[in-house]
Amino acid sequence: MIAVTMKPLALLLLLAVAAPALAVDPSPPANERFRAATGDEVPSFQKHVVPLLSRFGCNGRACHGSFQGQGGFRLSLFGYDFKADHDALVAGTEPRVNLKSPLESLILRKPTLTEAHKGGKRMPVDGWEYNLLHRWIKGGANGIVKEASFAGLDVEPKEIVFGKPGAKAQLRITARWSDGSKEDVTPLCRFRSNDESMATVGAEGQITVVGKGDTSIIVFYDNGIAPVSVLLPVSDQIGSNYPAVPTPTRIDELAVAKLCKLGIVPSEICTDAEFLRRVSLDLTGTLPMPSEVDAFLSNTTAGKRAKKVEEMFTRPTYAAWWATKIGDFTGNRERNGPLGGEQGLNRAKAGQWYDWVYRRVRDNEPYDKLVAGIVLAVGQRSDQTYAEYCAEMSGYFRKENPPDFAARPTMPYFWTRKALGKPEEQALSFAHAFLGVNLQCAQCHKHPYDQWTKQDFDQFTAFFAGIRYGAGNRTETQAMKKDAGLGALDEDSGEYKRKFVDLLANGKLLPFKDLHVPQNLKPRPGAKPGTRVAGRVLTPKLLGGEEVVNSDYTDPRQPLVDWMRDAENPYFAKAFVNRVWANYFGAGLTDPPDDLNLANPPSNPELFDHLAEGFVKSGFDMKWLHRTIIASRTYQLSWRPNETNRHDERNLSRAVLRRLPAEVVYDAMISATASDAEQKRLHTDPAELRAIGRSSGYADRRKDDTGYATTLFGKPPRAINCDCERSNEPALLQTVYLRNDPEVLKLLERPDGWLKQVAKSKTADADALVSQAYLRVLSRHPDDREATVAKKYLADAKDPQAGLRDLLWALLNTKEFTLNR
């Protein structure tokens, strides 16, 4: 860095000269500048023509933007391939632009219905839109010629708080360009309301508020997308009329700040029993034990809720539940495993994947380090021979004294899935798992709701070129097969796969495929730097970031990890924060949680930024994130609504009733019906859990029918890149299952269950039995009415054991059991 000193007077003169350049007034809008049919200014193809066609919908899916085009004329979908669009307009045997006779141009005649046009009338003759296109054609119909690039959008106002339904407000949109120029582009923008029952927006950017609540208006221009927050208070309790609400944490301050604008008063704090059940299910995926509920309710010490959370962090069920959750979005699934000879190991590998993540969650390894262990995973290490690598892998599958796979520095199975055979598939899965970004649209065309173009996708994909799971050293592979008696068998045959598994179990050394990661070397003299993708040489480029010279890195994935760890990264921390938040509130701050895009703004941007920044500053400490969310009053609010928040489900004014995740429902049934001894094992040994944990990656039904039940309740198959695979929606078959399925009845009457324990102990105290039943299923004591009804039923039953069974069955079939509130 070069230090520069300057006398004060000279500095003031310099600032005076520079000041006008820093405050450039935007050019007037196109509807003013091109109102007349004639004039000196020629419209710009990028700044004016393409945005106008986009506003008309000409490059939409249903019109000329479709892959086959319309009427022999095709534009790039959503209009971002300027060269292709220009060629489509001016080139060919029948161009849409007639340079010799501009007024005969089809681009003018069809949208005005001077000639037949299936797309209908888009503009009037002699309107400013018509004149803009006409003047562009008369000026030579030029494409992009060394123009400044688009730099961003400024929206005024960024937030609008309306006073009454029917009120209107006008937006003003300013485009910024790389040369410092600005232009009012309001009439060239497209607008969309994210909730038309709350607010609508006209083609000219005028917003009309319709209903109470809040939503966003989305502005589209060129490659820019910007949200505008729109609010209409639901009550008169705003400003000075808003009541005093406790805000003990920064989360609460930011949540209540928005509620104050909306006139929504949060509910009261939840009861201790509600808190214990809620946090136990959310943090550990398991019900609290009856004795734990009683101890917590009788505890009168200050800070007992925070202390309980710290104690829960030490439970194996905490690590088991969050290893299960991480397995969801990273794709740990038995049926995703590789084909070929190793196919018989797919279930074991899914279990090893889980074990590896479980160890790191249990030890509270920083999330960025956990992810780096997946992203930078290798098969054969640089200090290993191929034979040593095969010996290591063979050892993991032997029956006696296998090495601890979870101690392995990296976990390669994310990359070895059969669904990730191509760089494009790897890019899509990586973006979904670790960035919460959906790039699928950009694989073919401009993303409709985000900044990503096909060029962005291709350059991002370049990071993954050459990564594959395939055969290792061929000579040594054949020798190992021959030595094991596998040389004459087809690797894809069932016999080979069965023998492969059996030989490994008995300690035999067998050949394994290897995860091949290209070792980037300095390019040869004269060679173009970059990676060959789809026949082209592309320079890898971070999403929304810089191009990367891969030859500067030994592993082409390393710049991705470095970028994700950067405090300025807009996706990595937010993706995990959003998924964790969704676990606790039923919806992400941006929802769906895996769709961070510009047209899907968070419900509370300041709160989202605060949590993401705090997560990074904590060193990506997962427990910090859980602890911070749970400690907030916002998380601990009651589900009971008041008059102002009865219809609020997005602004954190109350706990929203939500169905328990499939695995949690199933294991809760196991726990509620288990004996005291079995209940204790479920809380201390994750291997005792049937749905959460190691088996969560198993794809098929097992002898205990867990697969059927968890699928019925919405367990994600982990087959595609979408958090939407998990369903928490109620369904009729779920009710039928809980009421009539043989497995539920079998759980109630199993030999090691609670009912058998009661029968053996010959307990006759009706009060105690009823309280125990409620504590086991609903984690609370019954109220007076419930206790009276339950005790009367037990007293009237011909068989007390059958009466208790009916009570337990009835509680399992309440809505309260399958909800977290």
pLDDT band at 550 (very low <50, low <70, confident <90, very high): low
pLDDT at 448 over 70: yes
State phi, psi for 585 to the nearest 5 degrees.
Answer: -120, -5
* Average pLDDT value for residue range 239-260: 97
Q: Are residues 88 and 181 in the same domain?
A: no
Mean pLDDT in residue range 778-800: 94
pLDDT tens string 167-200: 999 999 999 999 999 999 999 999 999 999 999 9
| Closest by Cα among 803, 223, 636 to 456 | 223
Q: Examine the domain organization and report whether 690 and 800 are in the same domain.
A: yes
Query: For residue 547, what are the β-bridge partners?
Result: 541
SS (H, E, C) 505-532: HCCCCCCCCEEECCCCCCCCCCCCCCEE
Could you tell me if residue 213 is inside a domain? yes
pLDDT for the residue numbered 519: 78
pLDDT of residue 525: 47
Q: Are residues 41 and 110 in the same domain?
A: yes
**What does the pLDDT average to over 530-548?**
71
Q: What is the pLDDT of residue 7?
A: 35
pLDDT confidence band for 530 (50 / 70 / 90) = low
| 697 or 193, higher pLDDT | 193
Residue 581 CB neighbours (<10 A): 26
Identify the band that residue 536 occupies on the pLDDT scale cut at 50, 70 and 90: low
Domain shared by 97 and 201, yes or no = no
Do 69 and 178 have their domain in common? no
- Cα separations in angstroms, 581 against 75, 357, 431, 655, 706: 41, 20, 19, 13, 27
Q: In this predicted model, what pLDDT tens digit does every residue of 320-358 receive, in sequence order? A: 999 999 999 999 999 888 888 899 999 999 999 999 999
Q: Which tens digits make up the pLDDT trace of 637-673?
A: 999 999 999 999 999 999 999 999 999 999 999 999 9
Q: Quick one: pLDDT at residue 3?
A: 35
Residue 588, in any domain of the structure:
no
What is the pLDDT, as a whole number, of residue 23? Answer: 58
Whether residue 206 sits in one domain with residue 59: no
Whether the pLDDT of residue 527 is over 50: the answer is: no
Q: Is the pLDDT of residue 813 over 70?
A: yes
Q: Which pLDDT belongs to residue 537?
A: 57
d(CA 148, CA 178): 5
Q: Are residues 120 and 197 located together in one domain of the fold? A: no
Q: Is the pLDDT of residue 815 over 90?
A: yes
> Which helix (H) or strand (E) covers residue 562, if one does?
helix 558-565
Instruction: Report how far residue 165's alpha carbon sits from residue 771's, in angstroms, rounded to the nearest whole number.
Output: 51
**Predicted local confidence at residue 702, as pLDDT:** 52
Residue 519 lies in a domain: no
Question: How high is the pLDDT of residue 299?
Answer: 97
Give domain status of residue 281, yes or no. Answer: no
106 located within any domain: yes
Q: Coil, helix or strand for 593?
A: coil
Domain boundary among 116, 138, 160: 138
List, for residues 461-519, the tens digit of each pLDDT value: 999 999 999 999 999 999 999 999 998 899 999 999 999 999 999 999 999 999 999 97
Check whether residue 109 and residue 216 sit in a common domain: no
pTM (global) more than 0.95: no
Structural domain span for residue 134: 30-138
Residue that is last in its domain, among 138, 170, 198: 138
Count structural domains, the chain: 3
**Does position 419 have pLDDT exceeding 50, yes or no?**
yes
Mean pLDDT estimate for the chain: 91
In the block, residue with structure tokens 């820019």: 224
pLDDT at 770 over 60: yes
Average pLDDT over residues 129-145: 94
pLDDT for residue 535 is more than 70: no
**Res 8: pLDDT:** 36
Q: pLDDT tens, 56-69?
A: 999 888 898 887 88
Establish whether the linkage from the previous residue to 686 is cis, with ω within 30° of 0: no
Same domain, 811 and 684: yes
- 706 and 788 within one domain: yes
Region 532-550 average pLDDT: 73
pLDDT of residue 12: 30
Residues 693 and 791 occupy one common structural domain: yes
In the β-sheet with 182-184, what is the strand arrangement from edge to edge?
150-156, 172-177, 182-184
| One-letter amino acid of 781 | H
The last residue of a domain, from among 232, 252, 283: 232
Buried b (16+ CB within 10 A) or exposed e, 24-47: eebbebbbebbeeeeeeebbbbbb
How high is the pLDDT of residue 330? 96
In a domain, 54, yes or no: yes
What's the pLDDT band for 700 if we cut at 50, 70, 90? low
Give the mean model confidence (pLDDT) for residues 279-297.
97
Give the DSSP H/E element, type plus range, for residue 585. helix 572-585
Q: How many CB atoms lie within 10 A of CB 650?
A: 16
For residue 811, being part of any structural domain is answered with yes
**Are 683 and 789 members of one domain?**
yes
Residue bearing tokens 């109350």: 654
Q: In the chain, what percentage of residues exceed pLDDT 90?
A: 80
Would you say residue 563 lies in a domain?
A: no
Q: How far is the C-alpha of 438 from the C-alpha of 329, rounded, in Å? A: 13
pLDDT at 705 over 70: no
**165 pLDDT above the threshold of 90:** yes
Least confident of 70-74, 280-284, 376-380, 744-748: 70-74
Mean pLDDT of 548-566: 89
CATH number of the domain within which 220 lies: 2.60.40.1080
